[in-house]
Amino acid sequence: MYLQDYFWFLGAILLCMIFSVFANAKVNGAFNKYNCVTTVSGMTGRETVLRLMDSYNIRGISIGRIKGKLTDHYHPSQNIINLSEATYGNNSIAAVAVAAHEMGHVMQKQNGYLFYRIRTALVPIVNFGSYLAMPLVLIGLILDLFANASSPEIGFYIALVGVALYGGSLLFALITLPVEYNASRRAKKMLVSEGILTQEELRGANEVLSAAALTYLASLLTSLVYFLRFFVYVLTIFGRREK
């Protein structure tokens, strides 16, 4: 790879790191701010999930408690919503907002939300592609060196398949954005309709969930930079770049 490409990559990664730090600081700041504000309803994160599951007739989902803060997640294959220690038994606006967000993912699965189904389908592809990307590029390079005149481009095309597989992580990060935004939108709607939060309290929940969305945007930008670096690298070793 050319020297200027390294400087481009390092500069882009530095910007992504700065944005990631900002996004994490934003979400932690919002969570800490509203984690000190108790809800009028007095409901905890766990009670919020139970209320929403009962209201929307959701069955077969268990609630787990895990260590940490903002480590909450829904595990669809195990049918469990794992709430962090900061969310599980806390009756703050922040805890309730995060718990409802995870219920938003449950509702996406129940309703067959398109982007959620696409993201779920991408998981094995991304895992598979991460192992095959570089080997395919190496195989393509070997074939490019020894291919006969009848198929001089075969090695390059195989390498491009590796690039496409490597790009699966970028596609996954891209699809994650609408999935997370939609889950937050569902969460806010459910919190108000079920009387768990008032309209005034919803402003705090919105601040927490909007800040959390920035972390997914940071992840997408980072994935984009790494994909472009890998793509340029492949073009370079195959001599397909303009001099």
- Total number of residues shown for the chain: 243
Token digits of residue 36: 């000190």
Which position among 47, 85, 102, 201 bears the catalytic label? 102
Token digits of residue 194: 């079920």
CA dihedral 60, 66, 70, 71 (to 10 degrees): -80
Residue tagged 């944005």 (tokens): 19
102 is catalytic: yes
Q: Are 216 and 173 in contact (CB under 8 A)?
A: yes
Between CA 24 and CA 160 the distance in angstroms is 34
Residue tagged 């930079």 (tokens): 225
Between CA 199 and CA 234 the distance in angstroms is 53
CA distances from 20 to 27, 29, 107, 211, 228 (A): 11, 14, 28, 12, 19
Residue tagged 């390294």 (tokens): 6
Dihedral over Cα of 193, 197, 199, 202: its sign: negative
Residue tagged 């930008």 (tokens): 221
Active site residues: 102
